[in-house]
Chains A and B, each alone.
Chain A
Amino acid sequence: DAGVTQSPTHLIKTRGQQVTLRCSPKSGHDTVSWYQQALGQGPQFIFQYYEEEERQRGNFPDRFSGHQFPNYSSELNVNALLLGDSALYLCASSLEQYTEAFFGQGTRLTVV
């Protein structure tokens, strides 16, 4: 079992650009959540997808959007990048909403 996999591992973008991050959940998991972690802080919830629909959203602007595919993999899209979007983006998967969450290795996004 490969666990939760994220791609790419590192990314450098210019302010104003758009970025897409990808996540494949742990085998058998149907729920994918995305988190943003700034340096020295705990992860902050962005949104969660279940059955290809966004179930819940954290306090993030509409520039952050996502998608879940029929195979349960997911994408996180961020438009009009700001310097403050620089962070580690983490994907977590679980079987249904309340079970143990497993995280990927994250994507380090740097906006310059």
Chain B
Amino acid sequence: KQEVTQIPAALSVPEGENLVLNCSFTDSAIYNLQWFRQDPGKGLTSLLLIQSSQREQTSGRLNASLDKSSGRSTLYIAASQPGDSATYLCAVRRNTDKLIFGTGTRLQVFP
């Protein structure tokens, strides 16, 4: 059974810091991995999608890497801003249709 774990559960940092959020999964036979952002009480915003054949994806200040063999992905946020404050979720998809989510990392960036 696939399990997804995110560390740390919460993070509070001053503005301007570079951040690394971690996601690990127990079954390396994934089709793709997706990172999401969720603001309190809101839906999920897709940040990055990494296919199993890819090593990393970049979008603006965000960079996500994937090491399938070790069951790990990291989301790197450069030069963090207060507007980055949110919960970040990673989800993996096997050769089935559903996404399996971690419990998220709650990020607070203070001025």
B41, B46, B104: which contacts A88 (Cβ < 8 A)? B41
Tell me if A104 and B43 are in contact (CB < 8 A): yes
- Whether B45 sits at the interface, judged by CB under 8 Å, is yes
Q: Do the beta carbons of B89 and A42 come within 8 Å of each other?
A: yes
For B91, what are the chain A residues with a Cβ–Cβ distance below 8 Å?
42-43
- The stretch from A14-22, A61-69, A70-78, A95-103 touching chain B is A95-103
Instruction: Categorize the interface residue count of chain A.
Output: 20 to 34
- From DSSP, what is the main secondary structure of chain A's interface residues? strand
Contacts of A6 in B (CB 8 A): 43
Q: Could you tell me if B4 and A33 are in contact, using CB atoms closer than 8 angstroms?
A: no
Tell me, in angstroms, the Cα distance from A101 to B97 when the chains sit together.
11
Chain B interface residue number, banded? 20 to 34
Residues of A within 8 Å of B104, CB to CB, are 42
Q: List 17 A-B contacts (CB under 8 A).
A: A4-B43, A6-B43, A42-B101, A42-B104, A43-B91, A44-B101, A48-B97, A55-B97, A56-B96, A92-B44, A100-B34, A101-B34, A103-B44, A104-B43, A105-B42, A105-B43, A106-B41
Is B31 an interface residue, CB under 8 A from the partner? yes
CA distance A71 to B47 in the complex (A): 27
Tell me, yes or no, whether B103 is within 8 Å of chain A by CB.
yes
Contact digits for A48-62, partner B, Cβ 8 Å, 1 yes 0 no: 101000011010000
Q: Say whether B32 faces chain A, with CB atoms less than 8 Å apart.
A: yes
